[in-house]
């Protein structure tokens, strides 16, 4: 695996790939956790689907330039969707935000928002460095 192609600009691509792979695993685990704790099949389906897409994007980021570019965009879009969902759910509990983030779902939301922002930022930086 080559980390420093084109003067070291692929460092962001490498980091985005690792972050997407980890975030995909976290997404799958979050979906399973939602299903086990609350018997919510939509949580399992959404977490599993988003996690699988992120895993595929994470692998694609390490492939050739065209596949890496599309995979970076895919990881950024899925991360943006997940961050948006969990921000929306958090805002629904604005009046009691402290208690919300102490709940299991609130902790899951915090992890998903943080991880999603990391993947989103790294993916966009890698795309920017590639296009520039």
- In angstroms, rounded to a whole number, what is the distance separating the alpha carbons of residues 33 and 73? 27
Higher pLDDT, 5 or 116: 116
Query: pTM for the full model?
Result: 0.89
Q: Cα–Cα distance between 29 and 35 in angstroms, integer?
A: 10
Give the tens place of pLDDT for each residue, 56-100.
999 999 998 889 999 999 999 999 999 999 999 999 999 999 999
Q: Is the backbone of residue 6 left (phi > 0), alpha (psi -120 to 50) or beta?
A: left
Alpha-carbon separation of residue 52 from 8, 47, 55 (angstroms): 29, 8, 5
Nearest to 112 by CA among 82, 70, 69: 82
Which pLDDT belongs to residue 92? Answer: 94
User: Where does residue 106 fall: left (phi above 0), alpha (psi -120 to 50 degrees), or beta otherwise?
Assistant: alpha
Tens digit of pLDDT for each residue in 24-67?
999 999 999 889 988 889 999 999 999 999 999 999 999 988 89
């Amino acid at each position: 695996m080559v980390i420093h192609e084109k003067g070291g600009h692929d460092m962001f691509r490498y980091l985005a790939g690792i972050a997407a792979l980890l975030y995909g695993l976290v997404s799958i685990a979050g979906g399973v956790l939602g299903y086990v704790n609350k018997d919510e099949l939509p949580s399992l389906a959404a977490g599993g689907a988003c996690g699988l897409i992120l895993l595929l994007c994470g692998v694609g980021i390490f492939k050739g330039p065209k596949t890496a570019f599309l995979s970076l965009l895919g990881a950024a879009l899925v991360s943006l969707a997940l961050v948006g969902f969990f921000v929306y759910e958090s805002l629904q509990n604005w009046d009691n935000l402290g208690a919300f983030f102490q709940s299991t779902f609130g902790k899951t939301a915090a992890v998903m928002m943080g991880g999603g922002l990391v993947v989103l930022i790294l993916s966009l930086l890698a795309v920017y460095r590639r296009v520039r």
